[in-house]
Amino acid sequence: MTSARTPLIAGNWKLHNTVAESEALAGAIAAHVGNGLACEVVVAPVATSLAAVRETLSGTAVGLAAQNSHWEDSGAFTGELSPVLLLDVGCTHCIIGHSERRQYFGETDAGVRKKVSALLVHKVVPIVCVGESLDEREAGKTLDVVLGQVDAATDGLDAVALAPLVIAYEPIWAIGTGRTAKAEDAQEVHAAIRSRLAELKGESWATTVRILYGGSVKPANADELLSQPDIDGALVGGASLSAENFIPIIDAGVSRAEFSARRRSLEL
């Protein structure tokens, strides 16, 4: 039966935009989304803009995401933000384990696992990033690397606790390079992730988990990527920095949702 998973389009603004720039971009996106579309939309500004963007998004269906979190609620952790603080500022989602965090800041699988658990306790949705480097891909290690990261992020947590979890497959070699995995290749990895989730926590749960694609998603390739059965949305980097580019990707998510709804109605 066709999936009933609601597509999720998430914009990761990384280290870009002042508070004023963030407010302007959030306002343009919120004006398009309004009180809700057939897909879910979240944006992840820099930490200094979270409170301002929350106010801009108030009364709309656009969710607020953080780009990282610590696993402790408080303590002597200079420079960190906790799930408690993210929730306090209005975050509904948090990106965890992004390849840039792993590559430049020493993020480990064990750390990702602790952050996932802490976010779930506080009802913040973890968007867990997994992905392989170009060297790993060319060595035929894509699934070993990606599924190993999936295993680590969910270790020790049951399906009930993990219910809100979102996975984002982001091939590192395609991030910010303009290179994108072919839609069928991305689908193959997404299907393998879903199969592993079923093995780990049960098929009934695995069929509900949204798996996003995050590797140079642009208006030109969004429709093709989101037409794949196991690609449930996108984690968008550079193209999320302008409403002109991000809104067509949101619309591709809406089209995916509407197509799936029509298919389900025909199957009933």
Catalytically active residues are: 98, 170
* 12 strand-pairing partners: 44
CA torsion 48→52→58→60, rounded to 10°?
-70
CA–CA dist 70, 101 (Å, integer): 12
